[in-house]
Amino acid sequence: MVKAVIFDMDGTLVDSERLGRKAWAMAAERLGFEGVTEQVIYSFIGRTRPDVLASLTDVLGNAQDAQRVFFLSREIRHGELGDQLELKPGAIECLEALRAAGVSCSVATSTFRDLAEPTLERMGLLGYFNHVTCGGDVENGKPAPDIFLRAMELEGVDPAECAVVEDSPNGVRAGFASGASVYLVPDLIEPSQEILGMCRRVLGSLAELPAALSI
């Protein structure tokens, strides 16, 4: 039986990726940058702040413009779009079932702690988790497995005893590389055959996870 479940946050527990996509587009438009296309925005999903800023710098040509777009998009997302944030379907039902079964739960998110923990608290989720591992806690972000390995270390479990729940290709790659069983709940990006091959199960919502874990 699985002893611990490690959840991604954005796009998995909270329906934030859609807001993020909108905020990126709004920020780029307000600052007059045309290079921040939907394809570029999708490439940010599941990646840490330094990785996103490095990609933006490549797209826009200099780090200063990348910083301007990044921080304006963050301001828009957590400011004027903040009240549109919702939980993903089945999140509370899933977490309540895992708690009742005595399964330990943690979060491993590419988002930095200054935003991750307030988001979880605002959505009423923080109390369900023993640990929150964030993008700033590890050297290499997803798709490297570092963040999940760190979360497992905090939980005191081996990869074989752990399930990872993700929505993005980079997250699935990271979970698979960590040695855990990966459960995918697709969000914005349709999984490729490569990604499907790394998953133990693809779920329609988080509500299906307890049964998939035989809970």
- The active-site residue, picked from 10, 51, 167, 187, is 10
10 is catalytic: yes
146 is catalytic: no
**pTM greater than 0.85:** yes
pLDDT one-digit tens code per residue, 173-194 = 999 999 999 999 999 899 999 9
Q: What does the chain come to in residues?
A: 215
Query: Is the four-CA dihedral 115, 54, 187, 214 of positive or negative sign?
Result: negative
Provide CB contacts within 8 A for 37, sequence distance 6+: none
Mean pLDDT of the chain: 95
Provide CB contacts within 8 A for 114, sequence distance 6+: none
Separation of alpha carbons 154 and 6, rounded Å:
11
- The active-site residue, picked from 8, 51, 146, 167, is 8
Q: Which of 77, 32, 81 is nearest to 52 (CA)?
A: 77
Strand order in the sheet with 181-184: 131-134, 104-109, 4-7, 162-166, 181-184, 201-202
Six token digits for residue 180? 């855990």
Six token digits for residue 4? 């611990």
**Contact (CB, 8 A) for 10 and 20:** yes
Confidence of residue 17 (pLDDT cuts 50, 70, 90): confident
Q: Which of 168, 176, 174 is nearest to 197 (CA)?
A: 176
pLDDT one-digit tens code per residue, 92-151 = 999 999 999 999 999 999 999 998 999 999 999 999 999 999 999 999 999 999 999 999
Kindly give the pairing relationship between strand 162-166 and strand 181-184.
parallel
